[in-house]
Amino acid sequence: MAVQILTKSKSKRMLSGVCGGLSNRFGIDANLIRVLWFFFGATGFGILIYVLMSLFLPDGE
C-alpha cells in the first residue's frame, strides 16, 4: 500500500489549497472540509493551524 503525502491542491483551491489537499488525502468532499474548518476556525486556533499548513505543506497536483 502506497503512502500518500498531505499536499496542497491546485485544482480544488479557494485560498491556498489546504482544504482541497485534505479532501484529496482523506477522500472527503472539499466543501465539507471547508465548512468544518469554518467552525473550527472560529476558535482562533484553527486560523493559526490553517496559516501554518499553508506555509509548510508542499504543492501537490
d(CA 12, CA 45): 23
- Rounded to two decimals, what is the model's pTM? 0.77
Query: Is residue 13 predicted with pLDDT exceeding 80?
Result: no
Mean pLDDT for all residues in the chain:
83
Domain range list for the chain: 18-56
| Residue 37: per-residue pLDDT | 84
**DSSP-derived secondary structure letter, 24:** H
pLDDT band at 1 (very low <50, low <70, confident <90, very high): low
Q: Give the pLDDT band (50/70/90) at residue 32.
A: very high
